Amino acid sequence: MGLTTDAARAGALARLRADEAYVAAFAAAFPDREPWGFDEVILAVACFERALVSMNAPVDRFRRGERDALSFAALRGAEIFNTDYKGAVCHHCHNGITFTNDVTHQSSPFDEVVYTNVGLYNVGGTGDYPAGNQGLYETTKNPADRGKFRTPTLRNVSVTAPYMHDGSVATLAEVVEHYQTGGRLIDDGPLAGDGRVSPLKERGLGGMRLDEDDIRDLLAFVEALTDADFLADPRFANPEPQSPFFGE
Ligand code: HEC
């Protein structure tokens, strides 16, 4: 997040140290590590992130035996999501407890992180994504890696619009439409191109043949990954609404 140089880190530390609430909180958390520095900031952020466990969505409650946690529509949606029904291959990439193949774990089917081009762009028919935002390619500079991104988790995805790495898809319904057509067609403008026929698109994303009821049910399943308890947990709330770090 831009904290890649010593100067940037020193600046961030200075801003934290100027905030009384942080000074008190760090003293309480790290009583033996005065003066605290960037190592302690990293520890604190890592501890916070480790606490962000969301496992009480309707889908989780259903798996734990609450038979009425899922509506009939969501149950049917789970069936669509988890089988290759009419070309809906969601579970190939969005799988496991996090609904992504981005983490490896004991008995994980993958031993490395998977990057995929889902056909969001095909600028001028070249397979290009917008310059400077080409995913894995930005690191490897391998032309075959253009447009390859990690699979995001789908937990709580109903509250995180807009979608995809650049927020270029507004709603979940439009995301499903994207998979239905097997890529995005951009008619005009500098990014024009047909993602459906991108030479770099993942082969398995050939489009789906879902009807209106299927789409409604698939969306009901995705909505059922929303953990209301997690989202309302005061431990994760902004501790300092007035702080310049959080803003409005
Ligand atoms: C071949 C792997 C693959 C398959 C199959 C797949 N996805 Fe994805 N999904 C991805 C990747 C990669 C992204 C991120 C793409 C990007 O940001 O450019 C993504 C993004 C998403 C997002 C947006 C998440 C966010 O936070 O922005 C949703 C929602 C989603 N997929 C749902 C689905 C559904 C529903 C299906 C089945 C119809 C499906 N996916 C099938 C790999 C896949």
Mean pLDDT estimate for the chain: 93
Residue 112 pLDDT > 90? no
Residue 56 pLDDT > 70? yes
Question: Looking at residues 2-10, what average pLDDT do you find?
Answer: 89
Query: Containing H/E element for 152?
Result: none
Rounded distance between C-alpha atoms, residue 199 and residue 186, angstroms: 16
pLDDT digits (tens, 9 = 90+) for 8-48: 999 999 999 998 888 999 999 999 998 899 999 999 999 99
Region of 119 please: left (phi>0), alpha (psi -120 to 50) or beta.
Answer: left
Residue 161 pLDDT > 60? yes
Question: Looking at residues 53-76, what average pLDDT do you find?
Answer: 97
Q: What is the pLDDT of residue 248?
A: 43
| CB distance 93 to ligand 1 below 6 Å | yes
CA of 231 to the centre of ligand 1 (A): 22
Rounded distance between C-alpha atoms, residue 99 and residue 157, angstroms: 11
Local structure of 122: helix, strand or coil: coil
Q: For ligand 1, what atom is nearest to the CA of residue 129?
A: 18
Q: What is the pLDDT of residue 247?
A: 47
Q: Which residue is closest in CA terms to ligand 1's atom 5?
A: 90
| CB distance 220 to ligand 1 below 6 Å | no
Cis peptide before 241 (omega within 30 of 0): no
Domains of the chain: 6-51 (no CATH), 58-229 (1.10.760.10)
| CB distance 130 to ligand 1 below 6 Å | no
Do residues 80 and 217 make contact, with C-beta atoms less than 8 angstroms apart?
Answer: yes
Q: What is the pLDDT of residue 245?
A: 55
Q: Which residue has the tokens 């067609």?
A: 185
Q: What is the pLDDT of residue 239?
A: 72
pLDDT digits (tens, 9 = 90+) for 208-229: 999 999 999 999 999 999 999 9
Across 29-43, 91-105, 233-247, least confident range: 233-247
Pocket mutation for ligand 1, best pick of 83, 164, 221 (most atoms within 8 Å of C-beta): 164
Least Cα distance to 197 among 133, 124, 138 occurs for: 124
Q: Which residue is closest in CA terms to ligand 1's atom 3?
A: 93
Most confident of 9-23, 105-119, 154-168: 154-168
pTM over 0.85: yes
Rounded distance between C-alpha atoms, residue 165 and residue 186, angstroms: 17
Strand partners, 193: 186
| CB distance 94 to ligand 1 below 6 Å | yes
* Banded pLDDT at 246 (limits 50, 70, 90): low
Pocket mutation for ligand 1, best pick of 54, 93, 211, 223 (most atoms within 8 Å of C-beta): 93
